[in-house]
């Protein structure tokens, strides 16, 4: 009977766990809808803004600006690596994949900067902060709780910090590593050079030219082009960073929803096996008792 008690305790435990995973799946689904709406509304604006900025840069090439965010340094001595994870776990390999990718990028590209103490990690999300702080990296601990107040204003402060440090020469390059949201079950790891500002990919440029019939757009500037770019470029960089954060946020909820759905299904399978084991053990115990009673009766009769 002790075995039956243990099995019943396991059934009760798994059933409780299943109820928790079901609740977490529903919460993640609710949060995902809001996060997905935000990123879907953000993408067209960000893409159109980048397109316009590319055209303006092309037309106004050679125009002097106050702060050159596109300046490529001859030697990359100091690097800021922005790693975007989540604040909580239970979302499958979402956080692990980002951290592994960041560590791999450091080993492949920035090992010398790390050894010289010239590599700095700016974590967004508690999981990234805990990992890199624990492993003795140089960590900026000012912005990792960004998801507690996820808004453009809060993301803008982080982007402005990175931009100021780049202009002042504290960092020669700023990279982003995050998950891009594709759908509920799929998140794509992204590595981007945030600063110096890079032109868009050739494929996107080709699509852009196709939309305009392969003809360059001739802008008429109502004011000094340099003054216009001084406003547009920083705003474009802030929007690019905010988009990366929103992509990661939607990816997190999608990953958690998928993970909790699988956990719920696994709990159901385990409950099925445990109930079958319980019934078999109970039947075996009853059979044993009947045999003992029969044997006892025969002994008394003799």
- Residues marked as catalytic: 91
Q: Is the dihedral of CA 292, 294, 300, 302 positive or negative?
A: negative
Tell me the DSSP string of 22-48: HHHHHHHHHHHHHHHHHHHHHHHHHHH
Three-point CA angle 228, 229, 231, nearest 5°: 70
Cβ partners under 8 Å of residue 90, min gap 6: 24, 256, 259, 260
Length of the chain: 302
Which H or E element spans position 122?
Answer: strand 119-124
Give the DSSP letter of residue 196: S
- Cβ-based neighbour number of residue 167 at 10 Å: 15
b/e code 174-196 from CB counts within 10 Å (16+ = b): bbbbbbbbeebeebeebeeebbe
| C-alpha closest to that of 251 among 200, 301, 192, 179 | 179
Tell me the DSSP string of 252-263: HHHHHHHHHHHH
Cα torsion for 19, 22, 26, 27, to the nearest 10°?
60
């Amino acid at each position: 009977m002790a075995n039956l008690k243990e099995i019943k305790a396991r059934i009760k435990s798994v059933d409780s766990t299943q109820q928790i995973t079901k609740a977490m799946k529903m919460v993640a689904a609710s949060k995902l809808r809001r996060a997905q709406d935000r990123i879907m509304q953000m993408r067209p604006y960000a893409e159109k803004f980048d397109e316009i900025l590319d055209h303006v840069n092309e037309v106004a090439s050679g125009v002097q600006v106050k702060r050159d965010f596109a300046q490529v340094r001859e030697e990359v001595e100091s690097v800021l690596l922005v790693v975007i994870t989540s604040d909580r776990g239970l979302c499958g390999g979402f956080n692990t994949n980002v951290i592994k990718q960041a560590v791999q990028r450091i080993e492949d590209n920035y090992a010398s900067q790390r050894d010289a103490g010239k590599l700095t990690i700016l974590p967004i999300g508690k999981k990234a902060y805990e990992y890199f702080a624990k492993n003795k990296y140089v960590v900026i601990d000012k912005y990792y709780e960004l998801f507690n107040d996820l808004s453009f204003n809060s993301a803008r402060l982080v982007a402005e910090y990175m931009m100021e440090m780049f202009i002042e020469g504290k960092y020669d390059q700023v990279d982003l590593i995050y998950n891009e949201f594709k759908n509920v079950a799929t998140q794509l790891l992204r590595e981007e050079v945030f600063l110096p500002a890079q032109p868009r990919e050739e494929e996107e440029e080709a699509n852009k030219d196709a939309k305009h019939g392969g003809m360059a757009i001739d802008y008429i500037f109502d004011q000094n082009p340099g003054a216009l770019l001084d406003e547009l470029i920083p705003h474009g960089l802030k929007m690019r960073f905010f988009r990366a954060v929103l992509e990661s946020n939607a990816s997190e909820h999608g990953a958690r929803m998928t993970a909790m759905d699988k956990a719920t299904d696994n709990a159901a399978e385990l409950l099925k096996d445990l109930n079958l084991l319980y019934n078999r053990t109970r039947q075996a115990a009853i059979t044993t008792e009947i045999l003992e009673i029969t044997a006892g009766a025969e002994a008394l009769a003799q």
